[in-house]
Structure 1
């Protein structure tokens, strides 16, 4: 599948909560979670090298509609309900139109 919609998000956790934030973000890849959806073709979680309480997520989806539909589901809402209390402010989002690239882990 091809990503036609994407974004990056920067999330800053409350001091000392970065490890928990990253663990929760990575649960988005478990079976039944948003990142495991066939419509999610890119889901990359990383952390700031200079601030362990800052995490970055890059997502690529088959369409914006697919993203919104999946994130309206129970699994996504459950993860977000755990993440929200860790964040003292709203995440910063940047939209993307994926054109190509490479990922290897």
Structure 2
């Protein structure tokens, strides 16, 4: 069953694009551990917010990714760009009209 993690990351004023650049750096380790998609986006109406949609092979794969040294380093590097405002939700994907 696919696991979805969807969230918003508030950034300090003027730091949104820097966070987007950081989050969109290529990371083969994510796909190796079970990340199926990691999409990062913005909305002009919310200039200090980054939107992230993650799809994983399982919730356990997502949890395991957080233990990878590469991911720990990425989180530490991103922290100074964040305002501390976070939102989001998680769910088990029930299905899709795009695949069987």
Fold conserved (TM > 0.5)? Answer: yes
User: Scaled by the length of structure 1, what TM-score is found?
Assistant: 0.81
Residue 64 of structure 1: aligned partner: 59
Q: Are the aligned partners of 2:33 and 2:65 in contact in 1 as well (CA < 8 Å)?
A: no
Judging changes above 3 Å, is the alpha-carbon distance between structure 1 residues 37 and 91 closer, same or farther for their aligned structure 2 residues?
farther
How many residues of Structure 1 are paired with residues of Structure 2 in the alignment?
A: 97
Q: Flag structure 1 segments of 5+ consecutive residues without an equivalent.
A: none
Q: What is the root-mean-square deviation in Å for CA atoms of aligned residues?
A: 1.7
Structure of greater Rg: 2
In the alignment, the residues of structure 1 paired with residue 15 and residue 72 of structure 2 have an alpha-carbon distance, to the nearest angstrom, of 20
In the alignment, the residues of structure 2 paired with residue 14 and residue 37 of structure 1 have an alpha-carbon distance, to the nearest angstrom, of 31
Q: Are the aligned partners of 2:9 and 2:82 in contact in 1 as well (CA < 8 Å)?
A: yes
Following TM superposition, the consecutive aligned residue runs of length 4 or more in structure 1 with deviations greater than 3 angstroms are none
Q: Which has the higher strand share?
A: 2
Judging changes above 3 Å, is the alpha-carbon distance between structure 1 residues 95 and 71 closer, same or farther for their aligned structure 2 residues?
same
Q: CA deviation at 1:65?
A: 0.7
Q: CA deviation at 1:100?
A: 1.8
Q: Are the aligned partners of 2:9 and 2:49 in contact in 1 as well (CA < 8 Å)?
A: yes
Question: Of 40, 43, 51, which aligns to 2:46?
Answer: 51
